[in-house]
Amino acid sequence: MSADHTYELLCLENPLLDIQGQGDDAVLQQYGLKANDAILAEEKHMTLYEELIQNRNAKLLAGGAAQNTARGAQYLLPADSVVFYGCVGKDKYADILQDANKQAGLAVRYRYDEEQATGRCGVIITGHNRSMCTDLAAANCYKIEHLEENWGIAEKAKAYFVGGYHLTVCVPAILKLAEEAAKKNKPFILSLSAPFIPQFFKEPLDQTAPYWDYVIGNETEATSYADSHDLNTHDIPTIAKHLANLPKENKQRKRVAIITQGTDPTVVAVQGEGDAKSWPVHPIGKEEIVDTTGAGDAFAGGFFAGVVQGKDIDSCVDQGQWLAAQSLRELGPSYPFPKKTY
Ligand code: 26A
């Protein structure tokens, strides 16, 4: 695509290769991991990736939460609608990501780091749980200079989706997109990503909050937000309402807060519109679920494809739930090919 193409949605975050294998309590215990969580790897986790590859028949799959969302949104939108920015290494893992992007029709502008390898996410599956342990490596080397060099495309894009995981990487780039969105009245979307983001990255998260036109997360992220902000509640509709009504920079858009809860209803609150509403999820048989990795990313892909299509909230939720159900039937954060139509 030429540099003056107008994308409907630009996504920014960490492009990761998922190394996904079957696990058990012993391996979770060995590495000190919870059954259902996402964390940044420490020194003691560095042998996990080889362990998964050598002993656990691991699959190598395109991952990175916002990159999954970007592929998902592109799945539902006309060709050349979505572009993704992030940083990878010059290696064969980056080639795997590029192949997946190509198949999905997702445009990317990667920064290629000279020294670091492409980031890896070890995904340990136990039943319907997944434990994720990320070695960001090159993904941690995203630089605002890359955004500036690729500003032509970014400036033209009509909406921005930033994965909250990027708050650990490059806050200036996030704020540059956020300010651009507010200035030009474009939607700025932030996902809460994982419980550790509101817990340990509260300050940069709160710095971006006034710019959120949409904020999305699951129930564990919402309760982590509530705890770190002393809301004294774990009631999801109450937290959604709180998020929707935080002070806002761009007064031309009402903020929408979306909280997914696995098989429990999806909750949405709109700024100034009273209590949150909820929608039951599309039922899917337990035996049909291959794994839950990336279901939330898929929901976001479907939901925000709907937003850029100008759909109402009912339809966006429905489209998000539909795409999540598709992803649940695939291995890893993937979507069915040949394509199914919504
Ligand atoms: C900074 N961290 C921890 C992360 C991630 C991440 N994506 C970006 N940054 N930790 C896990 N993921 C991705 O989440 C997806 C499932 O929702 C994994 O790569 C996986 O594809």
297 is catalytic: yes
Confidence bin at 3 (pLDDT 50/70/90) = confident
pLDDT band at residue 2 under the 50/70/90 scheme: low
CB 19 within 8 A of CB 122: yes
Confidence (pLDDT) at 5: 94
Task: Give me the pLDDT at residue 282, please.
Answer: 87
For residue range 4-49, list pLDDT tens digits in order: 899 999 999 999 999 999 999 999 999 999 999 999 999 999 999 9
Task: Give the mutation target among 101, 141, 165, 299 for probing the ligand 1 site: most ligand atoms within 8 A of CB.
Answer: 165
* Other CB atoms within 10 A of residue 102 CB: 11
* Atom in ligand 1 nearest the alpha carbon of residue 136: 1
Amino acid identity of residue 289, one-letter, is: I
Predicted local confidence at residue 208, as pLDDT: 98
Q: Give yes or no for residue 116 CB within 6 A of ligand 1.
A: no
Active-site residue among 230, 297, 314, 318? Answer: 297
CB distance 222 to ligand 1 below 6 Å: no
Look at residues 96, 92, 77, 103 and name the one whose alpha carbon lies nearest to residue 11: 77
Say how far apart CA 211 and CA 214 lie, in whole Å: 9
Q: What are the tens digits of pLDDT across the range 182-217? A: 999 999 999 999 999 999 999 999 999 999 999 999
pLDDT tens digits, 116-169:
999 999 999 999 899 999 999 999 999 999 999 999 999 999 999 999 999 999
ipTM: 0.96
Q: How far is the CA of 17 from the centre of ligand 1 (A)?
A: 9
Which segment of 88-97, 147-156, 261-270, 280-289 scores lowest on mean pLDDT?
Answer: 280-289
Mean pLDDT (the chain) is: 97
Strand order, beta sheet including 160-163: 107-113, 82-89, 9-12, 160-163, 188-191, 214-218, 256-261, 264-270, 277-279
pLDDT band of residue 248 (cuts 50, 70, 90) is very high
Total length of the chain: 342
Chain centre distance of CA 34? 20
291 lines ligand 1 (CB under 6 A): no
Instruction: Report the pLDDT averaged over residues 101-118.
Output: 97
Compute the distance from residue 275 Cα to the ligand 1 centre, in Å. 31
1, pLDDT greater than 70: no
Summarize pLDDT for 291-336 with one digit per residue, the tens: 999 999 999 999 999 999 999 999 999 999 999 999 999 999 999 9
Rounded to an integer, what distance in angstroms lies between the CA atom of residue 76 and that of residue 330?
17
**3-class DSSP assignment, residue 191:** strand
Residue position matching structure tokens 């996504």 = 11
Please give the pLDDT value at position 4.
80
From the CB of 250, is ligand 1 less than 6 Å away?
A: no
Identify the pLDDT of residue 124.
97
Q: Is the CB of residue 154 less than 8 Å from the CB of residue 177?
A: yes
Q: Could you identify the atom of ligand 1 that is nearest to the CA of residue 68?
A: 21
